[in-house]
Amino acid sequence: MPSFDVVSKLDWAEVKNALNQASKEVAQRYDFRGTDAGLEQGEKSITVFASSDDRARAVWDVVMDKLVRRSVSLKHFSPGSPQRTAKGHSKIVIEVKEGIDKEPASKIIKLIKDKKLKVQAAIQQDTVRVTGKKRDDLQEVIALLKGADLDLDLQYVNFRD
C-alpha cells in the first residue's frame, strides 16, 4: 500500500552557515560598531543581542536575510519581544520550531478528511503518515497540502509504493 510522511524538518547545516555569515556581517558592518551586537545559537533557539531594541531587531533582520538566501523557511522561527538584560542591553530570543505538533497535525488530518479522498492519515510522533491504495490519491493529498494555508514548512518524505 503506497504511503508517505508529511514532516516539518529544518536543515541545521544551512541554519548554521546562515548564522555564521550573519555574525561575520554584524562584526564588519559600520552601523553595528560599538553596539555589542551579536548572536548565539542554542539547542532550540537563537539569541540576538545589542545595546538597544532597534539594533537587536536589525541583527535579527540580518539573520533573516541570510536564512532566506540559503533557502531556509522563516516559518520555523518565532521571535519573541525584545527583553532587557542586566547591563541595560537588549536581547531577542527566537524559538526554533521543528516537527509537527499535535494541533497542526490534527488540522492537516481534518483538511485531508474534508476533501474525502480515499486515504488514511495518522499522527506518528512529529510526523503525519498518509496511506492510500492509489498513488494518484497520495499525489492529490500533496497538492492539497501545498495549496493549503498552513503556518508550517512541510516536506513530503519516505514515499513507499
Residue ranges of the domains in the chain?
A: 3-8+100-160, 12-96
How many CB atoms sit inside 10 A of residue 110's CB? Answer: 11
Residue type, 19: L
Distance CA 144, CA 128 (A): 14
pLDDT given for residue 63 in this prediction: 92
CATH number of 3-8+100-160: 3.30.70.860
pLDDT given for residue 13 in this prediction: 92
Do the beta carbons of residue 73 and residue 97 sit within 8 Å?
A: no
pLDDT given for residue 65 in this prediction: 94
DSSP state, residue 17: H
38: which strand partners? 49
Residue type, 101: D
* Stated pTM of the model: 0.82
Distance CA 23, CA 126 (A): 31
First to last CA, the chain: 6
Q: Which residues in the chain show pLDDT less than 50?
A: none
pLDDT given for residue 125 in this prediction: 86
Do the beta carbons of residue 94 and residue 45 sit within 8 Å?
A: yes
Chain length of the chain: 161
Tell me whether domains 3-8+100-160 and 12-96 share a fold.
yes
Say which CATH superfamily domain 12-96 falls into: YajQ-like, domain 2 (3.30.70.990)
SS3 content of the chain, % helix, strand, coil (to 5): 40, 30, 30
